[in-house]
Amino acid sequence: DAGVTQSPTHLIKTRGQHVTLRCSPISGHKSVSWYQQVLGQGPQFIFQYYEKEERGRGNFPDRFSARQFPNYSSELNVNALLLGDSALYLCASSSPLAGVYNEQFFGPGTRLTVL
Amino acid sequence: AQKITQTQPGMFVQEKEAVTLDCTYDTSDPSYGLFWYKQPSSGEMIFLIYQGSYDQQNATEGRYSLNFQKARKSANLVISASQLGDSAMYFCAMRESTSNYGGSQGNLIFGKGTKLSVKP
pLDDT 10s digits, B44-57: 899 999 999 998 89
Give the model's pLDDT for residue B107. 83
User: What pLDDT shows up at residue A101?
Assistant: 65
> Would you place residue A56 in the very low, low, confident or very high pLDDT band (cuts 50, 70, 90)?
confident
Residue B41 forms contact with A (CB below 8 Å): no
Residue A2 has pLDDT above 70, yes or no: yes
Segment among A83-97, B66-80, B82-96 with least mean pLDDT: A83-97
pLDDT higher than threshold 90 for residue A1: no
- Shortest distance, CA A113 to any CA of chain B (angstroms): 15
Cβ neighbour number for residue B11 with a 10 Å cutoff: 16
Picking from A58, A94, A109, the nearest residue to B44 by CB comes out as A109
**B44 touches A: beta carbon within 8 Å:** yes
Query: Average pLDDT, stretch B74-79?
Result: 98
Contact residues for A71 (Cβ-Cβ < 8 A; gap 6+) = none
Mean pLDDT (chain B) is: 91
pLDDT band at A100 (very low <50, low <70, confident <90, very high): low
Q: How far apart (Å, rounded) are the C-alpha atoms in residues A17 and A80?
A: 5
Query: Is residue A94 very low, low, confident or very high in pLDDT (cuts 50, 70, 90)?
Result: confident
pLDDT tens digits, one per residue of B85-105: 999 999 999 988 665 555 456
The pLDDT of residue B8 is above 60 = yes
Question: How far is A93 from chain B, CA to nearest CA, in Å?
Answer: 10
Q: What is the pLDDT of residue B103?
A: 47
C-alpha distances in angstroms, B118 versus A46, A57, B22, B44, B79?
33, 37, 17, 19, 11
Amino acid B12: pLDDT? 96
Mean pLDDT along residues B62-86: 97
CA–CA distances in Å: residue B113 to residues A13, B89, B90: 28, 6, 5
The beta-carbon neighbor of B43 closest among A30, A104, A108 is A108
Exposure of B33 in the CB half-sphere (CA atoms within 13 A):
20
pLDDT attached to residue B59: 94
Question: Residue B60, Cβ neighbours under 10 Å: how many?
Answer: 12
Contact B20, B75 (CB under 8 A): no
Percent of chain B with pLDDT over 90: 75
Residues 6+ apart with CB under 8 A from B23: B4, B5, B6, B34, B36, B74, B75, B76, B77, B92, B111
- Distance (Å, rounded) from C-alpha B4 to C-alpha A99? 20
What's the burial of B110, exposed, middle or buried (CB within 10 Å: 0-12/13-18/19+)? buried
Cis peptide before A8 (omega within 30 of 0): yes
The whole-number pLDDT of residue B109 equals 93
Please state whether A76 falls in left (phi above 0), alpha (psi between -120 and 50) or beta. Answer: beta
